[in-house]
Structure 1
Amino acid sequence: MSSTKSVRVENLEPEVEEFLLKQFPGQPDGYAYFGEHKYVHPKAYKDHVEGIYNMPLRKDDIWVATFPRSGTTWAQELTWLVSNNLDYEGAAKSLSKRFVFIEFPSYFPKELVNKPIFGHEDIGILMDFKALASEPSPRFIKTHLPMSLLSPQLLDTSRVVYVARDPRDVAISYYHLSKLRKIFEFSGDFKTYWRIFLNNLVISAPYFEHLKEAWKQRKHPNMLFLFYEEMYKDLPGVVRRVAKFFEKKYSDAQIRKLCEHLDIDNMRKNKSVNPDLNSTIDTEGAESFIRKGKAGGWREYFDEGMAAEAEKWMRDNLSGTDLRFPEVGSA
């Protein structure tokens, strides 16, 4: 089609490729850079990048977009329930079936695509963007892709909830996920992982470019930009903002019930959003997909030197912008 647009794709530098293959052996085919900001994704994403970038959109599509480990699951459950008139019975169905994780198939061998990934048909299907075309409306779509790798018409067509989180907490959570998931198989310590994160070599990095792309579009009427720290400090207030965004009205009692449902301890016990670990995608003996859910928990991991390094990195990358992360103390 003449209207189809292309995304820039480049191979990694040989020494970087060799380094990442050693650190993350769960992707034996390696990685590539995508887009002008050189976002890191598995090489298999080459088979998906054009299809996702040019995919047909619908007016009633609802997207939840984040950098990995930024409160995605929390925002998905909140978004789905607010949009579906607080249908808790419907929310008992697996979140991985209620939302399509659009680029997730590029993390796996092709033979697993469009097949159950959690061992049970009623829990999750590894569905690619082509299968999404036959999904009934409204479609709920999850992504860790930056705005520049999604359709340029996305915000003019569909609604997007974007969630950002302090990168220090993101790094810790991503580190634990990288030890949990077989698609990473990271076995190093946190200091090693932090160096990789800081150098924008984890999947979906560069981190700040990802956030700044969404931040620049935060005033678009179809974009709701949230901070994880806001959800942590004032969940009822965020619920009201989400309800307003989707043109829904709920009573104080309904909002209290939803906040109780979304409490991190209840989320951790909820099998529809936090399924049991299984041998298909998880490392034996690893911890839960939903962990502590803290804001400010990075203080338990960073020594004085790492903390100073992180502050400078954040300050340098936020220079010239008005993007700032809400303070949450030492919770």
Structure 2
Amino acid sequence: MGRPTTLAGMRAALSGFDTGEGFRKGLAFQPKPTDVFISPYSKCGTTWMQQIVHGLRSGGDMAFAEITEAVPWIEMAHDLGLDPEAQRFEPRAFKSHLPWRDIPKGGRYIVVFRDPTDACLSLYKFFEGWFFETGSIEFEDFARDFYLGRGDDHGYWVHTASWWEQRDRDDVLLVCFEDLKDDLPKAVRKVARFLDLPESGPTFDVAVKQAGFDFMKAHGGQFDDHLVRERRDAACGLPPGGSASKVSTGLAGAARPIMSDETRAAFDAEWRRMMATPFGLPDYAALRAALR
């Protein structure tokens, strides 16, 4: 049993990732008002925000084998054999990739936005060596035929639009990946304020330190999704032992220079359709500026 070498094979493997029963259980979860859902689109800073929230609420606890144990993935918890309510710290925190339409209502919500071309490249690198054999699928094909073609229920732009529509809600905090990179303490302070947690002092300082690139890279095994791979690879028809690093430099603007003109144009057209026409945001930079 080898890893897929085509997009069709990759899609077939992904189809086994979750179960209908597990997904329904996640959507039916009944949150408390203090619960926090961290729900960016895939590869837009989810793990980073999980670590920030967990550090702020715990004072720097690192007694977990993988961050998904401490901050469970609500729509995957059942399939991973995790009890989402078995948490040692308050507020309870949950990972998700759900749009506003589907996420359990009644808690608080943090969403990280990221430039879609960079998010696409990050997802490509994340899947390479896990959901497809290294070097077997070209980035251009992945970007055009998979990322842009995921459909309205699973696409980046539907997710982004759904959360942008909630930007004025008191129970929703929207931040940008690039702003986390530019000024991490400022971003962590914003999260702490949203969660009614200390914005300075020892707990805040350790949360900032442990959300830094050097710290997370040094503890990469706690942020690499090995728990997910161990418990779902067989269902996906994947061999064990794949790699899926989640701590990278996260360079902003790295994807567009390596995309063809045609692919960049396709991404820009989708942004205009989903974000410019309904919201008056001509590009991702405008969204980022609006949040400032």
Decide which of 194, 211, 224 is 1:245's aligned counterpart. Answer: 194
CA distance in 1, matches of 2:7, 2:255: 24
1:287 & 1:207 partners in 2: Cα distance?
20
Residues 1:50 and 2:24 are matched in the alignment: yes
- TM-score after normalising by structure 2: 0.78
Q: What CA distance in whole angstroms lies between the structure 1 residues aligned with 2:122 and 2:176?
A: 16
Provide the secondary structure at the position in 2 that maps to 1:199. coil
| TM-score normalized with structure 1 length | 0.69
Matches within 5 A, 1:37-186: 44-84=18-58, 87-88=59-60, 90-94=61-65, 95-104=67-76, 113=79, 126-127=80-81, 131-133=83-85, 138-151=91-104, 154=105, 157-182=106-131
Q: Which residue of 1 aligns with 2:274?
A: 317
1:91-147 C-alpha deviation (Å, 9 max, x unpaired): 3434121111122368xxxxxx4xxxxxxxxxxxx235xx33555664321011212
Cα 1:287–1:77, aligned 2, differ >3 Å: closer, same or farther?
closer
**Structure 1 stretches lacking a partner, 5+ long:** 1-18, 32-41, 107-112, 114-125
CA shift digits 1:235-290 (9 cap, x unpaired) = 22211111110112333786565433322232122146334969835875746232
Report the more deviating stretch, 313-322 or 68-77: 313-322
Supply the distance in 1 between the matched residues of 2:274 and 2:129 (Cα, whole angstroms): 29
SS at match of 2:101: helix
CA distance in 2, matches of 1:307, 1:53: 34
Give the structure, 1 or 2, with the largest relative contact order (CA under 8 Å, sep 6 or more): 2
Tell whether the 8 Å contact from 2:35 to 2:91 is kept in structure 1 after alignment: yes
- Contact 1:179-1:283 at 8 Å conserved across structures: no
Contact 1:23 1:188 in 2 (8 A): no
Alpha-carbon offset, residue 322 of structure 1? 4.3
Pick aligned residue for 1:296 from 239, 253, 265: 253
Could you tell me whether the CA contact under 8 Å between 1:177 and 1:289 is conserved in 2?
A: yes
Shift of 1:83: 2.6
Q: Deviations over 1:181-211 (max 9, x none)?
A: 34x6684110110112112259x72211111
Cα pair 1:101 1:127 within 8 Å, conserved: no
Flag the structure with higher strand content. 1
Question: Aligned-pair distance for 1:171?
Answer: 0.5
Matched residue SS, 2:270: helix
Decide whether the 8 Å contact of 1:74 with 1:262 is kept in 2: yes
- Aligned AA for 1:197? Y
Q: Calculate the aligned-residue CA RMSD, in Å.
A: 3.2
8 Å Cα contact 1:169/1:297 also seen in 2: yes
Q: What is the CA-CA distance between 1:70 and the residue it aligns to? A: 0.4
Q: Which has the larger helix fraction?
A: 2
Deviation for aligned residue 1:222 = 1.1
Aligned residues: 268
Moved more, 279-288 or 45-54: 279-288
Tell me by how many angstroms 1:167 deviates: 0.6
Range 164-173 or range 136-145, more displaced: 136-145
Q: CA deviation at 1:308?
A: 3.0
Is the aligned partner of 1:265 residue 2:222?
no
Q: Which moved more, 1:184-193 or 1:246-255?
A: 246-255
139 and 181 in structure 1: CA distance in 2 versus 1, 3 angstrom threshold: farther
Matches within 5 A, 1:187-198: 187-195=136-144, 196-198=146-148
Contact 1:25 1:185 in 2 (8 A): no
CA contact (8 A) 1:227 1:326 kept: no
